């Protein structure tokens, strides 16, 4: 019979799940890949209907990690382009022309829609991590491990209540 001790007490946990590793070592974390890329590229281009545009696009190898940075760069590029004599430069996102205020609004909405780590709230990209006591997803093994330890603590607390 396996016992998992923490803080000096001995609590049988093996009927909740097979306890084959000491508490605190989250051997159960696993990684998987997200299909979506959450990177953005920002490019100047001449659009057939809109003329001079700064195009913000979701791209796997984009240079900008967040929609906020993408919009900041787009606004900077727009300024530079206009300073060099081009009268009207628009921002193009998802086939829509946006003014600077709308572009900032787009960044907010886009950010809200991105999946984030349940531990540290970082935007999830590339690989995500989870553990066997949760269906939530995390940015790293560290964040998944921390959550695993918390979940184990919660299970221990529930066990203690059962024994009262």
Closest approach, Cβ 102 to Zn ion, in A, equals 31
- Single out the segment in contact with Zn ion by CB under 5 A; choices: 17-25, 72-80, 92-100, 132-140: 132-140
Interface with Zn ion, residue 130, by CB under 5 A: no
Q: How far is the CB of 42 from Zn ion (least distance, A)?
A: 26
CB 130 within 8 A of CB 118: no
- Token digits for 3? 């016992």
Question: Which residue lies nearer to Zn ion by CB, 69 or 122?
Answer: 122
Residues 97-126: x where in contact with Zn ion by CB under 5 A, - otherwise, as a string:
--------------------x-xx-x----
Alpha-carbon span 53 to 101, nearest angstrom: 16
Find tokens 């000096």 and name the residue.
8
Q: Closer to Zn ion at the Cβ: 82 or 120?
A: 120
Kindly state the number of chain residues that form the binding site for Zn ion, as judged by CB under 5 A. Answer: 6
Q: At closest approach, how far in Å is the CB of 145 from Zn ion?
A: 10
* H or E segment and range at residue 32: strand 30-33
Q: Which residue has the tokens 């019979």?
A: 1
How many whole angstroms separate alpha carbon 25 and alpha carbon 156?
15
Nearest distance from C-beta of residue 117 to Zn ion, angstroms: 3
Choose which of 11, 26, 139, 152 interacts with Zn ion (CB under 5 A).
Answer: 139
**Torsion angles phi and psi, residue 2, rounded to 5:** -95, 130
CB of 48 to Zn ion, least distance (A): 43
The residue ranges that bind Zn ion (CB under 5 A) are 117, 119-120, 122, 139, 143
């Amino acid at each position: 019979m396996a016992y998992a001790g923490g803080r000096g007490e001995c609590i049988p946990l093996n009927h909740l799940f097979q306890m084959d590793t000491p508490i605190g070592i989250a051997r159960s974390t696993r990684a998987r890949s997200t299909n979506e890329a959450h990177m953005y590229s920002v490019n100047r281009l001449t659009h057939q209907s809109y003329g001079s545009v700064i195009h913000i696009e979701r791209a796997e190898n984009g240079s900008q990690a967040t929609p906020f940075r993408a919009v900041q760069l787009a606004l900077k590029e727009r300024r530079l382009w206009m300073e060099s004599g081009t009268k009207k430069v628009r921002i193009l996102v998802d086939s829509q022309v946006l003014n600077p205020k709308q572009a900032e609004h787009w960044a907010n909405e886009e950010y809200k829609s991105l999946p984030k780590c349940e531990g540290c709230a970082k935007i999830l990209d590339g690989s995500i991590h989870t553990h066997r006591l949760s269906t939530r997803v995390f940015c790293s093994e560290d964040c998944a491990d921390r959550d695993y330890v918390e979940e184990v603590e919660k299970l221990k607390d529930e066990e203690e209540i059962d024994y009262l």
